Amino acid sequence: MMENTAPITRRTATLMTGVSLLIAGPAGAQAGKPVKLVALGDSLTAGYLLPADAAFPVVLEKALRAKGLKVEIGNAGVSGDTTAGGAQRVDWSVPEGTDGVILELGANDALRGLDPRRAEANLEKIITRLKARNIAVFLAGMLAPRNNGTDYAAAFDGMFPRLADKHGLPLYPFFLDGVLDVPGMTLDDKLHPSRAGVEEIVRRILPMVEAFVAQLPQQR
């Protein structure tokens, strides 16, 4: 996996304008009941070898609340999970009443060299099932290790923008942007984010998640 340098797409730029909704007037995340999100992912979401308060969903919820948003984020990260595992457990991992899901899966498929076409089909199954339940999806992308070969990397990396374009989803291109291969941002395995790494992920992804949350009351 390597750091993503792709430009912001028009879809992403359009989503970013949703941040203005936070200023223009009250939304469900500011008044009334909390907006309920679930982070559905693998060890990167679960908080592998980190204290519970340092896991991505917890740190992101704290950052959103610091912005004045009434948000609750459930941690549905399972260490070692693949896209196939996520597809099998999506219904019981995402409870009724969930407004939106941050979908972060695929890293283990790439590390194991699993067929990107199967991974893409699994992600599409998850997305389709969530949309059928009227649950909005925020897609977090991943990049394949370059030692898998250029053809594999192109197929794997490309599935996230393809799915986002097909289903009209906001896409954060690379979940480990600013963390992978950066000293101090990962654990000793050079893969999983440290506490500082999680904080950096949240800092970078926060504006897009703000926009996602701001648009949720309009989607439901």
Domain count of the chain?
1
Q: What integer pLDDT is reported at residue 218 of this predicted model? A: 56
The answer to whether the CB of 128 falls within 8 A of the CB of 169 is no
> Does residue 115 form part of some domain?
yes
Write down the pTM of the prediction: 0.87
Q: What is the pLDDT of residues 121-155, one digit of tens each?
A: 999 999 999 999 999 999 999 999 999 999 999 99
Q: Which residues are catalytic?
A: 43, 189, 192
Q: Which of 160, 178, 207 is nearest to 17 (CA)?
A: 207
> Does residue 149 form part of some domain?
yes
Measured between alpha carbons, how far is 165 from 110 in angstroms, rounded to an integer? 21
Dihedral angle, C-alpha 63, 65, 71, 74, nearest 10 ° = 40
Residue 12 predicted with pLDDT over 70: no
Q: Where are the alpha helices (DSSP H) in 25-115?
A: 43-46, 56-66, 83-93, 107-111
Proportion of the chain above pLDDT 90, given as a percent: 83
> Does residue 26 form part of some domain?
no
The answer to whether the CB of 22 falls within 8 A of the CB of 214 is yes
Q: What integer pLDDT is reported at residue 71 of this predicted model? A: 97
Which CATH number goes with the domain that contains 202?
A: 3.40.50.1110
Q: What integer pLDDT is reported at residue 20 of this predicted model? A: 40
Q: Which domain holds residue 87?
A: 33-215
> Does residue 2 form part of some domain?
no
Confidence label for 79 from pLDDT (cuts 50, 70 and 90): very high
More reliable by pLDDT, 33 or 175: 175
> Does residue 6 form part of some domain?
no
> Does residue 194 form part of some domain?
yes
Q: What integer pLDDT is reported at residue 6 of this predicted model? A: 42
The secondary structure of 94-126 as a DSSP string is S-TT--EEEEE--HHHHHTT--HHHHHHHHHHH
> Does residue 136 form part of some domain?
yes
The answer to whether the CB of 170 falls within 8 A of the CB of 201 is no
For the chain, the straight-line distance linking the first and the last C-alpha, in angstroms and rounded, comes to 36
> Does residue 138 form part of some domain?
yes
